[in-house]
Amino acid sequence: MADHAHNPFVQVNGCVALERLYIRGDGAASEQHSANLTRLQTFSSLVKAGCLEFEVTWNLNPKDPAMQSQIAQPFLQQVEFHLCNKAAKHNHGKGMEKGVDWLARSKGEPVPPCPKCGALGKATFELEVWECNFTKSLPDIRITSTNNICSDAVKGVDELPCFWLRGLVPWSWTFGRASEHITDSTVFGHGPWVTGKWDLPPGACAGTDGSGGPRGNDPRMRRVGWGVVVSTFDCFTPIAWASGPADVVQTVPRAELTALVWLVTHTTGTIHVAVDASYVVKGFKKGPRAAHLSHVDLWTKLWEDIAARPGQIVLSWTKAHTGTDEIQRGVLEPWAYTMNHLADRAAGEAALKYQLPDTICDMIEWIDARAHKVQSRLIAVFQPTLEASNSSPGIETSLLPDKPLPETKQCKIKMLCELSEHCITWRKLQQPCPLVPATSGSDFLKRTAKGKLPGSLKARLATPRQGFWTCEGAVSEETASEVRQEILAAHAAGLLTQSGNVLAVRLHDGGRGGVTREKPNVFEADLVLAGAASCPKVLQQSPVLAALLAQEGMLRKTLNESWPWLVLDRLEQAKVQVNSGNGGAFPCHFDLPSAAAKGARRVLTALLYLNSDWREGDGGEVEILPFPFPDVPVAPCDRRLVLFSSCTTLHRVRPYTGACGRVCINLWFEGEVSVPFPAPLPPCERYDAQACKIVRILRQQPAELRAFCKVWYANTMAESLRDAFEPSEELDAALALHFEEMRAVESRIAPTTLEVLRECLPFKETPLVLRESETADLSGLFDGM
């Protein structure tokens, strides 16, 4: 015990304890003492010890409350370097640089011969991966394509085991390289505020926004911009604008807040501001006394400037990426729509000005590609061992293609942990449903279950006359972003196949047949078929997506409470789709179950859109044709959930021309098929009685309704076929059969029936679209219980 009293490393068993040891400077196990150690004390002690080096001279008053926020970022980076460098010299921390603490089981034991090539004293992890001749001779493409970097690995494995033995990229190679580039801090502007503070005119209004730029999804290369536009309520014509970059932290929330601070600092007088960042609006409503956990320096400056300036600042939350439809429905005010769109454009142009040079981005992408090759080789070497292991029955491992993928950090670490020789600790995974091979993905979801729906909202959903309904914010922003990235990664890996359709044509013998034709630019993968899991590779590489689908029961429960007569009891099919643009579209169709799905009781379709970059004009709207009401185009906005009757609601997808990819999750639920859905229209003074009677008859006979739609929407259906498929003889034959069948159905309908319907339809009724205030309690429909 006496020998151990002076040795703080005695109690260290892993990387967590090791970090605690070095940040405190001793080996005691008091967590409370570590928590109470202030950043400033740690900073001072490390500087005195010569562990930290700064190229900046700090002229700060220690009593200044803003001191901590000014030094926090460089201080934390230096502490991180200090911890990792020190940990690398400790036997329990080797290989921990920017990664996980991997403990070698054979530490201190004699090294046996390599079991594969027979080299004496060479049965080590690094030899088996990079030096073993048996490994190099394997025909696996992941081995042959990485043999050329073996010499680099042998030279660098001692210095950077985190990279060559785990595929984990050091911070300095990516983040550090990007942070060395000095971004231009010039603010561009036009208007009276260029020369000083501007006394705003009466009735002034403004919009502020931030943009992540073309590389907004990659925090290493992201360079954001902000924009401010000022006008008046009289004309909406911009009279002043400004745009610039964010400083230090390159995040869109900071850019949004910077725009508001700049507006407050350079103006005086009352102004109404349209802001689409909920983070800014919520923080502003809390007031100057609230404690802000992020961007403290900007919040402090904002409240100081507001206290010193005459006039009021009135913030209005404005939903981003909206269209004129929201104005017509009264969801959005015209001035807020105009200011938000102008500010969004200014912020987008600013972000483009401050992007990193292509040389830096190319280098980071090259590093990613090399890291992916290292990961591919690691997996290829140890995959046969795992597949042959008797201790892991029924567990499949997925392959990483030999090219870089935009995978999540959690997914990469999970894959490497499972396939690393140092971490083979298989466990029996409980499967709560056939969708998820592991339940750990649910930890990434925002847990915001809201319970039952409010009574007033429940009443509105009880009788959906038009047969469809939309909800905003069905999942959290974090979940939506993660799932979108996973689906795009699966598409990049070639796991999604091109979508196809069967075109009905007249055969040479006069019979009715079908030819399969692919829809250009549309790719998909079935994750659930007939209630059972399908396409396991997509689910294994997409833990957040799998966890999200595992919670579909929460959505069914909510819908059953609103529409109990549907009796939704099973998720019959689930599919992910990626529309890459260039006019990809879907023709008019009903979501009927396939002929192979015998006994399917499909009643409800749910579409979840994950398109944060969607803009008006990109196309890709799902156009719902809810006979007998007007057609309704629904934009594929981010986190928007659309539900409608599967077998009685005709719909199509308009051509998508955007550049960011249109991502959608399709869900089909089974339930009670004997109840007409949507419900037959009751007698109502608002509609013509005879027309209502005809509609009720059609809704009670879904097959007749689908046949009637060929007549009622004949031209629309033909147009949708031309949009979805390239010109061909098969398409011409399908169009000819469509009009032939349309005329056959029309001949069975009494002329007076069509006359009545053409005079009275479409029925005018406000679409059942819930406003933001009404969907507040629905936020997170899919999130954890």
Question: What pLDDT is recorded for position 10?
Answer: 44
How far apart are alpha carbons 250 and 350 in whole angstroms?
A: 13
Question: What pLDDT is recorded for position 400?
Answer: 38
**Could you write out the DSSP letters of every residue in 56-102?**
S-----TT-TTHHHHHHHHHHHHHHHHHHHHHTTSTTTTT-TTS---
Query: How many Cβ atoms sit within 10 Å of the Cβ of residue 729?
Result: 9
Residue type, 436: V
Which of 353, 380, 406 corresponds to the end of one domain? 353
CB 69 within 8 A of CB 134: no
Domain harbouring 476, CATH code: 2.60.120.620
How far apart are alpha carbons 80 and 19 in whole angstroms?
A: 10
Q: Going by DSSP bridges, is the β-strand pair 662-670/602-609 parallel, antiparallel, or unpaired? A: antiparallel
Tell me the CA distances in angstroms from 266 to 249, 304, 333, 344, one per residue in order.
22, 13, 26, 20
Q: Are residues 67 and 136 in the same domain?
A: no
Asked if residue 92 belongs to a domain, the reply is: no
Domain harbouring 282, CATH code: 3.30.420.10
User: Cα dihedral sign for 609, 615, 617, 618?
Assistant: negative
Q: Looking at the 3D structure of the chain, how many domains does it have? A: 4
Beta pairing partners, 622: 634, 653
469's enclosing H/E stretch is strand 468-471
Which among 351, 371, 463, 447 has a CA at the least distance from the CA of 98? 371
Question: What pLDDT is recorded for position 292?
Answer: 83
CB 739 within 8 A of CB 718: yes
Q: Are residues 552 and 631 in the same domain?
A: yes
Q: Are residues 597 and 633 in the same domain?
A: yes
Q: Per-residue pLDDT tens for 214-250?
A: 888 888 889 999 999 999 988 888 999 999 998 878 8
Low-confidence ranges of the chain (pLDDT < 70): 1-123, 385-465, 531, 595-599, 675-677, 679-687, 764-785
Question: What pLDDT is recorded for position 684?
Answer: 55
Indicate the DSSP class of residue 128: I
Q: Are residues 278 and 133 in the same domain?
A: no
Q: Are residues 593 and 563 in the same domain?
A: yes
In the numeric block, which tokens belong to residue 474?
């069905």
Asked if residue 296 belongs to a domain, the reply is: yes
How far apart are alpha carbons 195 and 405 in whole angstroms?
A: 48
Cα 146 to chain centroid, rounded: 32
Which of 353, 371, 396 corresponds to the end of one domain? 353
Asked if residue 107 belongs to a domain, the reply is: no
Asked if residue 18 belongs to a domain, the reply is: yes
Please list, in sequence order, all residues whose beta carbon lies within 8 angstroms of the beta carbon of residue 87, skipping any fewer than 6 positions away. 15, 18, 19, 22, 93, 96, 97
Asked if residue 266 belongs to a domain, the reply is: yes
How far apart are alpha carbons 443 and 446 in whole angstroms?
A: 8
Question: What pLDDT is recorded for position 467?
Answer: 72
Asked if residue 742 belongs to a domain, the reply is: yes
278-286 and 252-265 helices cross at what angle (nearest 10)? 50
Q: Are residues 346 and 365 in the same domain?
A: no
Q: Are residues 149 and 26 in the same domain?
A: no
Q: Are residues 536 and 608 in the same domain?
A: yes
Q: Are residues 379 and 327 in the same domain?
A: no
Q: Are residues 583 and 702 in the same domain?
A: yes
User: Domain range holding 375?
Assistant: 128-173+360-423
Query: How many Cβ atoms sit within 10 Å of the Cβ of residue 4?
Result: 11
Indicate the DSSP class of residue 37: -
| Residue 202 dihedral angles phi and psi, to the nearest 5° | -60, 145
Asked if residue 160 belongs to a domain, the reply is: yes
Q: Are residues 464 and 543 in the same domain?
A: yes
Asked if residue 718 belongs to a domain, the reply is: yes
Q: Are residues 372 and 348 in the same domain?
A: no
